[in-house]
Structure 1
Amino acid sequence: MIPFVFDAEGPDAVVAAENLDLLRRLPGGAFRMIYVDPPFNTGRTQRRRASSMTPAADGEGDRTGFAGRSYTTVLGELRSYDDAFADYWGFLEPRLREAWRVLADDGTLYLHLDYREVHYAKVMLDTIFGRECFLNEIIWAYDYGGRSRRRWPAKHDNVLVYVKDPERYLFDSTEVDREPYMAPGLVTPEKVERGKLPTDVWWHTIVSPTGREKTGYPTQKPVGLVRRMVAASSARGDWVLDFFAGSGTLGAAAQQLGRRFVCVDRNPEAVEVMRARLPHAAVRG
């Protein structure tokens, strides 16, 4: 397999690689939009000491983030977590720092997690990007699967949205697909026909187990969900990146909208699914 070298004039690419190694080889500022859907950290139980970062006066913290921001490490009590990794955040943090580096100055990061980890991710991204760069938390709500009788059933994922520069990021609402009004009788017929812009709560079905979109990859996300992010935060011809690409949904959305893409995954099954789903993309190692 030909080694991958990023070329802004080259073809779209599916890359079979360990993502941190690949990220470190990418040029800074190359991508207008990044979508990341990492493992949700729901494997075996591990014990570790939780920590979070809180802002401190310049130069007084014991951690320093980007642009010289100072933070004080706050150690939490020893807790038990359902971790797929011995240190999930030790795994994810360097990848998110590289994501900041390869993001364009007017670019946007979408980090897709669930309720178990999103609050820790918010603190981490505040450290890496700066709190002023937090744009939104999107709630993807769906209605599928079992229903617990011992708690409110969890039927949503969380997507944290951060921009590299809060003064110059791209957000093109005119490109975003519209939704039907929930109370159409309260608005004009013209508005009913046009539809309304989505809010930060997105009701969208999961990938149908019997639909044409289904690839068979277990963590596949619906293309309509990711397409909305790509449409709002990139322009035709821009490069977009997913370094936990799985079934290649970002690539499928980018393909529909005329964006260029790099999809990275080290799982051979994922690479084969993407090879079939994105046949025009170059497959690199």
Structure 2
Amino acid sequence: MTELGWAPDGPNLLVEANNLDALAQLPDESFRLIYIDPPFNTGRVQSRQAMTTKRSAEGTRKGFKGNTYESVKGLLYSYDDAFADYWEFLEPRLEEAWRLLDDAGTLYLHLDYREVHYAKVVLDALFGRENFLNEIIWAYDYGAKSQSRWPAKHDTILVYVKNPTGYYFNNEEVDREPYMAPGLVTPEKVARGKLPTDVWWHTIVSPTGREKTGYATQKPEGILRRIIQASSAADDWVLDFFAGSGTTGAVAGSLGRRFVVIDQNPDAISVMTRRLGEQVRSVLLPHE
């Protein structure tokens, strides 16, 4: 068992901690699936811890156009000063995600249009470009409508695998969805539904629905259900270290997966404690 209290045959964990401190206490290749929905770089005040990369100047993996990771990072930092602040925060956490995935594991990184283009280049370097699996577009239609540009009504989820020849993916477990043009297919296909593509039409969490926890950035269970069904099996370990409202843990538990959820925000911990109840053992990791 680790200092954090995690063990392969142990209980689900709800960890209140700086996620970088908590991740460092988890052993290599412990998780089949990692989903993270980090705070978007919106310009609002955020708490960040400046970190330096563990990569050497020569780099340890080749990425974008054959450059080493250090070269890619330097190029991006010179392009946009705002990028440096956000990615000095996120980069070491993505390094930890790569370390913690097992050989058949998958990372889902959920961002919006402000940072996703940077993230693709960085993850190509961190994981290797051949390990990029999908760019998923989650499209929705709710909220304010801009009158001066096309309204932004989608998020992007980048999907990377640890091993491009041996990752776990089982779309037969995924809930099917209705055909958009049912008249063009047979009644049998209409009854069965179709497998989702890389464009997911799904509403946000309804302000008056049963899922609503009151947490501002809560994501719908349907999105996490699809991810967890496809990229993990029963009893696999799932990790979310920007856990927020706890949707990842709630859905993972309902599907028979084991999970660790981590957050430092007391509001998030309060929401998850109520939502996950006896499914988890709570751990407080003091920040050093």
Contact conserved, 1:65 with 1:127, CA < 8 A, in 2?
no
In the other structure, the counterpart of 1:8 is 8
- Unaligned runs of 5+ residues in structure 1 are 47-60
Q: Counterpart in 2 of 1:102? A: 100
CA drift at 1:256: 1.3
Letter in 1 for 2:151: P
RMSD: 2.1
CA distance in 1, matches of 2:203, 2:161: 27
Shift in Å at residue 8 of structure 1?
Answer: 1.1
Residues 216-270 of structure 1, C-alpha deviations (whole Å, 9 max, x = no match): 0000000110110000000000000000000001001101110000000011110
- The reply on whether 1:64 has 2:59 as its aligned counterpart is yes
- Aligned amino acid, residue 207 of structure 1: V
CA drift of 1:78 comes to: 5.7
SS in 2 for 1:100: helix
Alignment check: 8 A CA contact 2:28 2:99 kept: yes
User: SS at the partner of 2:176?
Assistant: coil
Match of 1:42 in 2: 42
Offset, 1:62: 5.3
* CA distance 1:194–1:102, change in 2 (3 Å): same
What is the alpha-carbon distance in structure 1 between the residues aligned to residue 198 and residue 79 of structure 2? 34
Greater share of strand residues, 1 or 2? 1
Residue 6 of structure 1 deviates from its aligned partner by: 1.1
Which runs of 4 or more aligned residues in structure 1 lie more than 6 Å from their structure 2 counterparts after TM superposition?
Answer: none
Aligned to 1:208: 206
Q: Which amino acid aligns with 1:64?
A: G
CA contact (8 A) 1:221 1:249 kept: yes
Aligned residues: 266
Structure (1 or 2) with the greater helix fraction:
2
Which amino acid letter does the alignment assign opposite residue 13 of structure 2? A
One-letter code aligned to 1:276: R
Structure 2 residue 276 is matched with structure 1 residue 282: no
In structure 1, C-alpha distance between the alignment counterparts of 2:25 and 2:111, rounded to whole Å: 25
What corresponds to 2:221 in structure 1? 223
Alignment correspondent of 2:53? none
For each residue in 1:189-221, what CA deviation from the matched residue of structure 2 results, as whole angstroms up to 9, or x when unmatched? 110000000000000000000111100000000
Q: Distance in 1 between matches of 2:86 and 2:77?
A: 16
Aligned partner of 1:180 in structure 2 is 178
Residue ranges of structure 2 left out of the alignment (5+ in a row): 47-55
| Contact 1:36/1:110 (8 A) holds in 2 | yes
